[in-house]
Amino acid sequence: MNPNTQIGGINVSIDAIASMTGVIVTECYGVVGMASKKFLKDGWAILLKQDNYSKGVVVKETKTGLSLDIYVIIAYGVRITEVVSEVQKRVKYELEKTLDVKFEAINVFVQGIKVVD
């Protein structure tokens, strides 16, 4: 992403967008954390730590904007559709407000459910 201003150009890397997305997602109700986009051999998802949030987000550039694939682990007992919908709305709002770029799609993949104490 390389927008230009009157003063000069601004370069925002794909990794920066992925890290910002990870922070926004983990603040949403019902989300336990970010998951790796790759499953382990036995089908379990890995819960990522804060410094690795970008491994749970795939950013793709399209002709009309950006597309995100977000991999999450959610809390047991919450309505999955509501959590996913909230994640999509919040990520879209926060990133479009911050970066001034349009998002074509925000896809959320639930990699697992975790019981939270």
For 21-75, what is each residue's pLDDT tens digit? 999 999 999 999 888 876 654 455 667 776 777 788 999 988 888 999 999 999 9
In a domain, 28, yes or no: yes
- Expressed in angstroms, the distance from the first to the final Cα of the chain is 40
Examine the pLDDT at 107 and tell me if it is beyond 70: yes
* pLDDT value at 4 more than 80: no
CATH of the domain at 19: 3.30.70.1350
Alpha-carbon distance values, 84 to 3, 41, 88, 98 (Å): 30, 26, 6, 21
- Does residue 72 sit within a domain? yes
Contact call for residues 114 and 76 (beta carbons, < 8 A): yes
Length of the chain: 117
User: Is 23 part of a structural domain of the chain?
Assistant: yes
- Nearest by Cα to 92 from 83, 105, 80: 105
Distance CA 97, CA 36 (A): 26
Residues 62, 104 contacting (CB under 8 angstroms): yes
State the Cα–Cα distance between residues 72 and 22, nearest whole angstrom. 9
Residue 84 has pLDDT above 50, yes or no: yes
Domain extent for 82: 14-114
Question: Cα separation of 20 and 92, whole Å?
Answer: 12
